[in-house]
Structures are given as structure tokens and as C-alpha cells.
A and B are shown apart, each in its own frame.
Chain A
Amino acid sequence: MSEILRPQTADQAREVLAWAAAEEKPVDLRGAGSKHRLGHPVAADIVLETAGLSGISLYEPEELVLTAGAGTPLAEIVATLDAHGQGLAFEPPDLGPLLGAPPDHATLGGVVSCNLAGPRRPTAGAVRDHVLGFHAVSGRGEAFKSGGRVVKNVTGFDLSKLVCGAFGTLGLLTRITVKVLPKPERAVTVTLTGLDMDAAGRAMTRALGSPLAVSGAAHLPDGDPAGGPPLTALRLEGPPSSVAARCQGLGALLSDLGAVGALDEAESADLWTRLRDVAPFVGGDGPLWRISLPPAAGPAVAEAIRARAGGRFLLDWGGGLIWAALPEATDAHAATVRGALAPHGGHATLVRASESQRRAVPVFEPPPGPLAELTRRVRQGFDPKGILNPGRMG
């Protein structure tokens, strides 16, 4: 059994990592563990949990800024913001249930470390676009900080970007400052029913290339609920009068492609939450891939994978994000997925797979040689002894 440590202060966290660096002991860093199965398995006798580094220390709604300990439950942050009509514009997904953990367990530090963003990603940005600054402890056992609490800041290297999506391999985040934004007053969804993948791709491209400010463009080839005709969904957000006008405009723009419908506010909110959390694929147990690619290539790549491996698909980000739930296979269909993607550029992440598959198959897109070497040097600067989640990113 590994030993679980829960530092109560950033300084205690620093002590642990200074000791681990000196003893060259690998440490498995965790928030609440909801995405613990995302990435390669980490072999470590010590688990460091951030639960003790919790709490919102600064929230100024008029400044659109919030600072909280890395272990702060995301749900607490979302509720606090909600009370002021604000939110995290990057729509952090709750991948807990998808990965076999309970819902609503994520911490801020975990969301940031995995750089996870939901359907609004193409227009509002990812986590990395909303982190303004942080405090962390590197693998050298030293506390350091970067960024600040203001939106516009080019003072020094932008390490805030680098720690987003680093899966804890550069440092243990202890405190994070994020930009928050007013929530849209109203959100509705325009739908198209019965489009094949290619036509859905064209619909999404046309919508996102229009001045109608579409803030979500997804395609569910298996329908919603699954088993129905394919559903293409386009979200519009903003003041009520504007949403109404754009809803009409979008309907007119797409009417030649298929039957246009609309979801009301409640249906719309429900759909986008389920898309965000990849709910249609919760409970399955075959390999699940998350593929980020040039949006216009989404339909073709999904079809190419389907032709060789079968499986079920969700397209988000106007085609720029494919979720592919595939049948079992020893290599989790890595060769098929990465082969289909290669001509277009992008990256495929094996989000869900058995532990043995996650040991054998590169979970993250393997970088080309020179980039891999540079990445290794960057990581070594922050974690020379390789104690922080060693091997988690491959």
C-alpha cells in the first residue's frame, strides 16, 4: 500500500517534495483522484493529495478574478461564481464518471493540470487561456510562482500556460488564480436532424464561419438519446433579444441542409452538460479516444476510424474534437486512430483504457524526436530527479 500524505499548507507540501527530491522518491500527485486513471499509471509509494490546500482566498466579481487553493473542489468554485451570475467560460468537464470515479469530485488543481475544456473551447478558450497565475512547488522542492491576478500580463515567460495540461509533471500546483466571466443570460440550441457525418461537418463549418456567434457546435451521429436519428446541435448564447434574432438567422442559414429544430433553455443546458461530460460514453468499458484535429477534417477522420474499427462517435468543437468509443482490441486501436489522424495533423489521447493497455499504448500523442527531446529538457529543469508523477505523460 502506498502512503497518502495530505499537506495542510503550501509550505508542508514543499517540505514533502524537498524530502522526496533528496531521497529520489517518486510521488503520485492527486487532487481528489477523479482523473487518476487518465494517463499512464504512475509507480510511486507516496501519494500526495491536495485536499488540505483548499479554499477560495480571493473573489472579486467586478474584477472577474478568483484565487483558490489547488485542492478546492470545483463544485465549490462553480457554486460561488454562480451566486454572482458568473462562471468558468471554459466549461470544465466532469470526467469522473467516465473514468469510473464519482461525479462532482474534481478539484481546481486537477482541472488545470489536465487542461480540460468543454464545448465552448473554440470560442472561449481552454483552461490555459483562463489561468492568470499560480503558486507551485517544483520537483526541486522549491516554491515558485508565475503570472499574477490581472488579465494582461507579459512579465516574464508565461509559465501559467505550461503548467496547464502538464499533469503535475512540472510541479505541484498549490494556489491558482483564474479569470472568470459573466454567464450568458440565455442559451438555446438550434438542431438539425438526420444529417450524415459529412453534411453535419458542413453545417457546423457554415455556422461557425457566420457572424452569428455560435458558442457550441456538436454532432451526435447516434442521435440523442442514442438510437435515434443523427443530431447536430448549435448553441447560441447572449442577451434574450439577440439570441432570438440569431436563432432565426441560423435556421435560415442552414435550412437547405435538413430539418431545423430548436431546444429550449432547459433542454439545451442538459444537452451541453452531457456533451461536456461525454455522458453518452459513461459506463462503457472499451477504449475511449479523445482526438483533437483541424475541425473540417473531423467527419472524414471519424468515418475512417469507423470503417476500420467500428465504434461510436461524438463530434464537438465544430468537428475539431472527436470522442471515439471503440470495441476492445489489444492496442486499443491506436494504430488505426493515429493512422487516420496523421494526414491531417492533431493529436489523439487514449482517455479510457485498461491499466495494461495504458502501460503498453502511448496514451498521449508521441511527439516527434526533436520535440520529445526538448520536452525532456524542459521537464528536467523543473523536476531533475523525475519525482513528479513519473511516466504519467509517457
Chain B
Amino acid sequence: MRMPVPDETIVARRDDIIDALREAMPGGGLIVDETELKAYECDGLTAYTELPMIVALPEDTEQVAAILRICHEMGVNVVPRGAGTSLSGGAIPRGDAVTLGLARLNRILDIDFDNRAVTAQPGVTNLAITRAVEDRGFYYAPDPSSQIACTIGGNVAENSGGVHCLKYGLTTNNLLGVEMVLMTGERLRLGGKHLDAGGLDLLGVVCGSEGLLGIVTEVTVRILRAPETARALLIGFPSTHAAGDCVARIIGRGIIPAGLEMMDRPAIGAAEAFVKAGYPLDAEALLIVELDGPASEVDELIERVSEIARTLGASTLRASRDEAERQKFWAGRKAAFPATGMISPDYYCMDGTIPRRALPRVLDRINHLSERYRLKVANVFHAGDGNLHPLVLYDANLPGELESAEKFGADILRLCVEFGGVLTGEHGVGLEKRDLMETMFDAVDLEHQQRLKCAFDPDNRLNPGKVFPTLHRCAELGRVHVKRGEVRFPDLPRF
């Protein structure tokens, strides 16, 4: 991975920048001391670190706007940051940038049960939203595994998903509105408590824009009434092919489970050793299928899925009988990452998506790559939507292993694209996958995306170096190359 090279002309002005920011933040919140800056040197992609030039922790939207205005006027880069759990290096600092941390904007502003909407500041954690409404039987559906820590602002920036997004959608499908501040300090509102805001759907592109378009300072999400019941099935198969067939058949029969997860043998082993969830150690693949809704519906669908699993030769088939058992089925899956951390000094989590039915073939190819790179891999998938999380196991203390793991990871992502899939399903491009963008998009595609960036942030100050492999200046992208006097499409039918 190439780390961005700091612009020395910005670094040289550090003291002036600090003075200007200090004036905008009279109540404190500026971090300039090297030992304190260290706490911000990386995000969830921990193999890479860089000390930020300055960290600013504003206490309200006015301060966010003031900081941005100063950085805009002084020509300073800005890296937005929520909880810093990004797995793609989206929040990795730069030596020439102010890291703008939103953690202190952590209040829930409005809970509106009649309109089924919650408005929160960006630093509120994902789980805190559900916690705020669960006493009335409501919840916020997207549930990334990092939900205790990650912020709703970060979720919007990454368009994060969770195990329940097969049925309930990703962040973007549950987002009603935002307030955001542009690099110039201008404040805007997109959407609100109504649907489909009218005009161009800028809310739709701000979600998932990885901090490149503006700073999100308020988020309105829809909340749902929790389903009456949820039950899970634990299904073991002697082959990944059979498990893949089971996934296809469940969906082919018109059943959309609330969650549909798969783990392969190494992942099952690691999870079982870690949390003793009662997973079958003889299975090559394990499915967790969760069905939710009214009790009568759930019971019926549990029976239908069980029947499919039996027909396909499931070696283990257990349905949760109560809430405790359902939680137990999930415990292993939810702890899959830390569990992997127990069986290997380091692991590298990938995040490609493939068409579901390619699953067994892609797994075979991953196993070949694993032999070639001499690195083990454990696989956990959001099987229902084809989102793979291969965990490449390595030891950073062995010379060259990190580089090998990265090459292996990049090959896995290229494989996903080769099979009709994409580079990232929910973790974002960030710094990590930036240089792979050209495997999916040609130059014209990327230029059209970058012009959107130009409309929001023409000087490219917000999170520079992320997402786009090559940077064109906006003035250059804006030019129209006309070829006049061409023959006027003689072959076209006219009426």
C-alpha cells in the first residue's frame, strides 16, 4: 500500500494553522502534542500508521464549520474521523492534515416515534441509537459488528452494513437525511423525515462517500419496530458446495432471511475454540440462518428452510428454541474476528462481493491462492448477499509476510471482480483498495466520479489520497474535448 506523501509546504505552516484553529476553539479540543497525537495514528487497518499534523475535536457544528473555513482559506488538508474503526484506511491520518474528529458531537437530538425517525449527531455510536429507542420496542436495523464503537457519521460515510442488511438494507436504505458542512464552511441539509427528498439525490451519493464530499454533522435515520420473534438455524454441511446450494435454494424459494451467514472450516474451528458456541467441528461449512417476524411465520419458515437443508444433506441441523440459544448460535459468528486473532498473530480482513452462486468456485480459487502464498485463510461470509470476508492469517514479525498477505488479499479482490463481483461490499475503498479501482472502472468511469468530488470540494482538501488512484485537477476534468465537424451518425434510424 502506498501512503500519501505529506505536502511540506503545509507542514511548514503548522504553527500558524494551530493559532488560527485555537481561536476558533476557545473551549479547547485541539491536540498538538506528539504523545497525544499518537492515539490517532491509525484506524482499524492497524498495519499502517501516520502521525496527524493536528487533531481538532470540535464541540458543535459551528466549530466544525469554522475549522473547515480556516483550513479552506489556509489551504490545509482535512481527514474526517468518527471512531476510527474503518477497515480500509479511510480515517488514516496524514502528516499534512488536520484530523477532524467528530466524537464530541455525541448527542441524540430527536426521537420521533410517530415518524419512526431518530436524529443524532455524527459521533453517536450505532448501538446507542437502538439503545435510545428499544424501550418502546424499536431499533435501528443496520448492525455492523463494530456497532458498540463505530459512529453513525462513520456509518454514513462508509455506507456500512451488518448481518441483517439482507432483509433490512444497508445504511443508505435506512438514511433519511443529513446536515453536512462543505469544505468552505457552508452548511447544507439533504433530506429530512420525509422520503425521496426531491431534486438530485445528493443524500444517496453522500452516503458511502468516505469523507470526500463533506463533514456530516447531523444524521436522521429511520427506526423500525422490532419483529415479534427471531429464531436461528445452525446448519452444518460436509462441503462448501452443498452449503452454497442451500443458500441459493432458500432464496430461490422466495425466502429472504433476516440473516444468512456462512463460515468455513478454519473459521468454525477458531470461533468454537474462542466462545464454545457448540459449532460442529466436522463440518466443512456452517450456515446460520435467522428468520424474524410474527411467530407463526417464523415457525413456518424455519420448517421450510430445515427441509431444504435436509434435502441437501446437512450433517448438522439445529433450530434455536429460545432467545438464549439463538444468541449462542450467533456468538461464534460475531466473535469471528477476535477468534481469528487468537489463532494467528495477525490477520488481514478482506471484503469483496460476488454473485452468490460463484461462492464455491471462488472458495476453491482462494484455497489455491492460499497454497501459493503459503498463508492460511479463514472465511466468514454474509452469504445471503455474497459479501465475503476472507481473513488472511499472517505474522507481521516475519519479514515479508505483511507484503505477502496484502498481495494475497489483492488477488482475492481481483478474483471477486473476475467473477462479476466488486472490490468492497461494506468496508470501503479508503487507502487500502484505492490502487485496485482500475480493475473495476476505466478512466472515463473514474473521471465521472471525480467530477462529483469537484462539485463538492474543488480544491481536493477533504480526505485526499483516499478512494481515487490518480488525481486529476478539477480544472482539467472540467474541460470538454470537442471534436466538431464529425459525420452526423449516418447509420441511425430517424423518424
Give the B-binding residues of A (Cβ under 8 A): 3-8, 12, 15-16, 18-19, 21-23, 52, 60-65, 85-86, 115, 117, 121-122, 125-126, 128-129, 138, 140, 142-146, 148-162, 164-166, 169-170, 181-183, 185, 205, 208-213, 238-239, 241-242, 245-246, 249, 292-297, 317, 320-321, 345-347, 349, 364-365, 367-368, 370-371, 374-375, 377-382, 384-385, 393
Interface membership of B296, Cβ < 8 A: yes
Closest 6 A/B residue pairs (Cβ)? A161-B204, A242-B297, A381-B451, A182-B254, A347-B198, A152-B425
Q: Bound state CA distance, A164 and B451, in angstroms?
A: 18
Q: Bound state CA distance, A161 and B429, in angstroms?
A: 18
Contact B208 A320 (CB under 8 A): no
Which of B76-84, B123-131, B316-324, B353-361 forms contacts with chain A?
B353-361
CB of A195 to closest CB in B, whole Å = 17
Which of B29-37, B38-46, B91-99, B475-483 forms contacts with chain A?
B475-483
Q: Bound state CA distance, A21 and B483, in angstroms?
A: 9
Chain A residues lying within 8 Å of B27, measured Cβ to Cβ, are: none
Chain B residues lying within 8 Å of A18, measured Cβ to Cβ, are: 483, 486
Q: Which of B169, B197, B248 contacts A62 (CB 8 A)?
A: B248
Chain A residues lying within 8 Å of B286, measured Cβ to Cβ, are: none
Chain A residues lying within 8 Å of B433, measured Cβ to Cβ, are: 155
- 7 A-B pairs within 8 Å (CB atoms) are namely A3-B494, A18-B486, A65-B355, A145-B441, A158-B205, A169-B200, A183-B254
Contact B201 A161 (CB under 8 A): yes
Q: Which of A129, A210, A380 contacts B225 (CB 8 A)?
A: A210
Q: Bound state CA distance, A212 and B224, in angstroms?
A: 11
Q: A365-B199, A380-B455 are in contact. Are A158 and B207 (CB under 8 A)?
A: yes
Q: Bound state CA distance, A259 and B116, in angstroms?
A: 26
Q: Which of B194, B201, B423 contacts A128 (CB 8 A)?
A: B201
Contact B478 A384 (CB under 8 A): yes
Contact A151 B385 (CB under 8 A): yes
Q: Which of B169, B228, B249 contacts A211 (CB 8 A)?
A: B228
Query: Could you say which of B248, B447, B451 has the most chain A C-beta atoms within 10 Å of its C-beta?
Result: B451
Chain B residues lying within 8 Å of A12, measured Cβ to Cβ, are: 489, 491-492
Chain A residues lying within 8 Å of B400, measured Cβ to Cβ, are: none
Q: Which residue of A lies closest to B214 (CB)?
A: A374
Q: Which residue of B lies closest to A164 (CB)?
A: B201
Contact B483 A7 (CB under 8 A): no
Chain A residues lying within 8 Å of B186, measured Cβ to Cβ, are: 370
Q: A149-B355, A155-B429, A209-B225 are in contact. Are A162 and B200 (CB under 8 A)?
A: yes
Q: Which residue of B lies closest to A202 (CB)?
A: B114
Interface membership of B312, Cβ < 8 A: no
Q: Which of B195-220 contact A (CB under 8 A)?
A: 195-205, 207-209
Interface string of B404-426 (1 = CB under 8 A from A): 00000000000000001111111
Q: Bound state CA distance, A21 and B480, in angstroms?
A: 9
Q: Bound state CA distance, A315 and B354, in angstroms?
A: 40
Contact A6 B193 (CB under 8 A): no
Chain A residues lying within 8 Å of B356, measured Cβ to Cβ, are: 62-63
Chain B residues lying within 8 Å of A146, measured Cβ to Cβ, are: 445, 448-449
Contact A126 B196 (CB under 8 A): yes
Chain A residues lying within 8 Å of B182, measured Cβ to Cβ, are: 374
Give the A-binding residues of B (Cβ under 8 A): 112-117, 137-138, 158-159, 161, 165-166, 169-170, 172-173, 182, 186-190, 192-205, 207-209, 225-228, 248-249, 251-256, 293-297, 300-301, 353-357, 382, 385-387, 420-429, 433, 437, 440-441, 444-449, 451-456, 467, 477-478, 480, 482-484, 486, 488-489, 491-495
Q: A158-B172, A349-B198, A375-B199 are in contact. Are A152 and B385 (CB under 8 A)?
A: yes
Q: Which residue of A lies closest to B436 (CB)?
A: A155
CB of B191 to closest CB in A, whole Å = 9
Q: Is the interface of A mostly helix, strand, loop or mixed?
A: mixed
Q: Bound state CA distance, A60 and B444, in angstroms?
A: 29
Q: Bound state CA distance, A16 and B193, in angstroms?
A: 41
Chain A residues lying within 8 Å of B158, measured Cβ to Cβ, are: 154
Chain B residues lying within 8 Å of A61, measured Cβ to Cβ, are: 252
Chain A residues lying within 8 Å of B423, measured Cβ to Cβ, are: 155
Kindly list 9 other residue pairs between chains A and B, CB separation below 8 angstroms, not including A65-B355, A245-B297, A384-B480. Answer: A12-B491, A144-B447, A169-B200, A213-B293, A239-B301, A295-B116, A296-B112, A365-B199, A375-B200
Chain A residues lying within 8 Å of B187, measured Cβ to Cβ, are: 370
Chain A residues lying within 8 Å of B494, measured Cβ to Cβ, are: 3-6
Q: A6-B493, A12-B491, A144-B448 are in contact. Are A294 and B202 (CB under 8 A)?
A: no
Q: Bound state CA distance, A161 and B203, in angstroms?
A: 9
CB of B225 to closest CB in A, whole Å = 5
Q: Which of B195, B254, B444 contacts A185 (CB 8 A)?
A: B254
Contact A154 B200 (CB under 8 A): no
Q: Which residue of B lies closest to A171 (CB)?
A: B448
Contact B492 A6 (CB under 8 A): yes
Q: A21-B480, A213-B294, A296-B114 are in contact. Are A154 and B428 (CB under 8 A)?
A: yes
Q: Bound state CA distance, A317 and B204, in angstroms?
A: 20
Q: Which of A117, A150, A170, A345 contacts B194 (CB 8 A)?
A: A345
Chain B residues lying within 8 Å of A241, measured Cβ to Cβ, are: 296-297, 300
Chain A residues lying within 8 Å of B209, measured Cβ to Cβ, are: 157-158
Contact B225 A154 (CB under 8 A): no
Contact B455 A6 (CB under 8 A): no
CB of B247 to closest CB in A, whole Å = 9
Q: Which residue of B lies closest to A296 (CB)?
A: B114
Q: Bound state CA distance, A169 and B399, in angstroms?
A: 53
Q: Bound state CA distance, A71 and B205, in angstroms?
A: 25
CB of B363 to closest CB in A, whole Å = 16
Q: Which residue of A lies closest to B427 (CB)?
A: A154
Q: Which residue of A lies closest to B255 (CB)?
A: A182
CB of A145 to closest CB in B, whole Å = 6
Q: Which residue of B lies closest to A292 (CB)?
A: B194
CB of A153 to closest CB in B, whole Å = 5
Chain A residues lying within 8 Å of B225, measured Cβ to Cβ, are: 208-211
Contact A182 B256 (CB under 8 A): yes
CB of A217 to closest CB in B, whole Å = 12
Chain B residues lying within 8 Å of A126, measured Cβ to Cβ, are: 195-196
Q: Bound state CA distance, A196 and B249, in angstroms?
A: 47
CB of B320 to closest CB in A, whole Å = 19
Q: A185-B254, A209-B225, A242-B293 are in contact. Are A379 and B357 (CB under 8 A)?
A: no
Chain A residues lying within 8 Å of B172, measured Cβ to Cβ, are: 129, 158, 161
Q: Bound state CA distance, A21 and B479, in angstroms?
A: 12
Q: Which of B165, B227, B429 contacts A152 (CB 8 A)?
A: B165
Query: Could you say which of A155, A365, A375 has the most chain B C-beta atoms within 10 Å of its C-beta?
Result: A155
Contact A292 B195 (CB under 8 A): yes
Chain A residues lying within 8 Å of B255, measured Cβ to Cβ, are: 182
Contact B296 A242 (CB under 8 A): yes
Q: Bound state CA distance, A208 and B173, in angstroms?
A: 17
Contact B451 A16 (CB under 8 A): no
